[in-house]
Structure 1
């Protein structure tokens, strides 16, 4: 028999069912070009465990370049640590030395070149006309005429040359050299040559500095070599001291007699502490023609002496000397003036 049913009881209702689950589908992005734009490419579905990127093989050059730049960075860092970054940013600047044309011009070489050229230039012989151009070509710049103005006639020989002042231009490339040359002249008599006067000639030689050496840049010119008077501002000898002149004249004669003979005799009559070399018998003392001591302080004085020397045979030669006298005091208190320097 079935149990009795409770009055008013309702049978249990089934729970409401929602909409059925949708099948998964790929999300679509809204195109910025509108709804009617063509859809973009569909991404492939990744397999389980697959990375979202792909690897490509790297070339050997790329590997070498990467390692090279890494090594370069390491080297730069090491150099920075050794030398200091400060020296890279603010290095010590050494001031540049300004060299003028006069100081940079090779004056010694210019003198040597001009001296040799001057002797070649003032030497010629018509019986050997090729000798002069060959000698001139040693110093003349290439491409210039080695005849140097000579017409190929006559005979003359230069044997001694002395260079003087080298005047360089401000450009430091060119200069002129003053040279004095002694020449022996000859006069043709028939088929022979007779010796003429011996003369000193003075020429100005133009030179130029090249990358390798100094060369003569053109023909020289003659310049006058006249005697010149003394300048008006020559220093005066001073006021004569006649008393000291008379008191020291005998000592002066003894000094010059020893000065002509030997160093040992000179050292015996000179002031203590002074060193004066003798003439070692080149000449003999003849006489003291003039002796003058000038006023000064109590310790040193200036003096002049006109001396005559005897040379070989009957030859005599007079010269004027300037000397320094120094006052000396002996152990017994005696005072005397002795020569301390010559010249």
Structure 2
């Protein structure tokens, strides 16, 4: 018998496994790296049902340590801003120095203020020109009128007539010239005050009065000898007289020099000065004054003879007085209250000079000088005049 043939059993159809979705080329390398890292990390054994082979093997998303972020995200922008701020701080520290952030530098000293007062008037030149002109202006001699004109021409503009203002009579000379204040009146013009001591004929009112006419013939005969003497006095010229005169000279600065611009004017000289405050009274040390009076007397006795160095303090330099002076007396010597090795006092001295006796006041400083054997006071400075 023929054996029955086996009926073939139908096999279930196996669906083809879906082809894995390929990731982009840029993303695939990061995904593969994540899978390799996860497979190398040991973990607890777990029993899981076998997944069909057709199921794609993908790692859970929570286990992937890498993640792609958009370059335009907020976190990336914040990182870039932070880096920019950090580099800015580093650059600022390099420029200004970190020390200046904690210790404020000292404030700069203010620059001195310069006041532009404009060009200054040449006062000294104006005084020199005015003094020379004043001497020429007040000096004249009727025997040589051209000498005055030539002297005036030095200090006036070219072409100025230097013969005006004088009638070519008389004789006068200038002994002393003292330029004084310069008053600027504007437009480079000024007025200079000059004081002069002039010598010339005595004023008319000081001339001797003429002799009275004798009455009677007998008296005329008796005084024939006296009349001859009177005639000699009339013929004699009066002695020259000296007097101070003030002159104000107008000047102007032109072309780099100062010149006289017009006729000057004679003005008066003050007869006295203004009142001044009363001097302040000073206390005197009478005991010390008596103690050092001999020191001062010894010094002044040598002062006029040029031997003051023999009695002055070491290192003192006191020039000798002019010759012809001799000491009269020490009228008064008082020392101001004080202490120390230097003391200052006032001495009144009378000198014999020129056949007269004159009184002078000095401020004298005495210094204590010590040696191994003795100690004494000696004069170290002398100043003429007393300033209360």
Scaled to the shorter chain, the TM-score interval is 0.5 to 0.7
Alignment of 1:1-343 (within 5 A): 98=116, 100-101=118-119, 104-169=120-185, 171=187, 173-186=188-201, 194-229=238-273, 232-233=276-277, 236=280, 238-262=282-306, 265-279=307-321, 281-312=323-354, 314-332=355-373, 334=375, 336-343=376-383
Deviation for aligned residue 1:216: 0.9
- TM-superposed CA distance for 1:240, in Å, is 2.0
Task: Give the C-alpha shift of residue 235 in structure 1.
Answer: 5.4
Question: Which stretch of structure 1 is more off in the superposition, 222-231 or 153-162?
Answer: 222-231
Distance in 2 (CA, whole Å) between partners of 1:198 and 1:300 is 46
The TM-score normalised by the length of structure 1 is 0.61
Say which SS state the counterpart of residue 297 (structure 2) adopts. helix
- Cα deviation for residue 100 of structure 1 reads 3.8
Aligned to 2:386: none
Q: 1:186 & 1:126 partners in 2: Cα distance?
A: 13
What residue is the counterpart of 2:76 in the other structure? none
In structure 2, distance between residues paired with 1:227 and 1:338: 42
Deviation for aligned residue 1:148: 4.8
Residue 96 of structure 1 deviates from its aligned partner by 8.6
SS in 2 for 1:114: helix
SS in 1 for 2:145: coil
Q: Which stretch of the first structure deviates more once superposed, 269-278 or 200-209?
A: 269-278
Structure 1 residue 199 displacement after superposition: 0.9
Which one has a larger percent helix, Structure 1 or Structure 2? 2
- CA distance in 2 between partners of 1:108 and 1:202 (Å): 19
In structure 1, what is the Cα distance between the partners aligned to 2:260 and 2:235?
Answer: 35
| Matched position secondary structure for 1:138 | helix
Q: 3-state SS of the aligned residue for 2:304?
A: helix
Q: Deviations over 1:222-255 (max 9, x none)?
A: 2332243465346536222222222111111101
Secondary structure of the 2:302 match is: helix
SS of 2:154 mapped into structure 1: coil
In 2, the alpha carbon distance for the partners of 1:170 and 1:328 equals 59
If the length of structure 2 is used for normalisation, what is the TM-score? Answer: 0.55
**Partners of 2:328 and 2:373 in 1: CA distance:** 34
Q: 1:261 is paired with a residue of what secondary structure? A: coil
The 1:162–1:239 alpha-carbon spacing in structure 2 relative to 1, beyond 3 Å, is: same
Decide whether the 8 Å contact of 1:205 with 1:221 is kept in 2.
yes
Residue 229 to residue 139, structure 1, CA distance change in 2 (3 Å): closer
Q: How large is the RMSD of aligned CA atoms in angstroms?
A: 3.1
Q: Structure 1 residues 111 and 193, CA, compared in 2 at 3 Å: closer, same or farther?
A: farther
For 2:323 and 2:256, the matched residues in 1 are separated by: 48
> Residue by residue, what CA displacement relative to the aligned partner does 1:185-207 show, whole Å, maximum 9, x if unpaired?
12699998543321121212221
Aligned length: 242
- How far did residue 169 of structure 1 move? 4.2
Q: Residues 184 and 195 of structure 1 are in contact (CA less than 8 Å); yes or no, is this contact kept in structure 2?
A: no
1:301-328 CA deviation, whole Å, 9 max, x = no partner? Answer: 322222222225x333322212222233
Q: Secondary structure at the match of 2:296?
A: helix
> Structure 1 stretch 316-325 or stretch 224-233: which is displaced more?
224-233
- What is the CA-CA distance between 1:121 and the residue it aligns to? 1.0
Q: How far is 1:122 from its partner?
A: 0.9
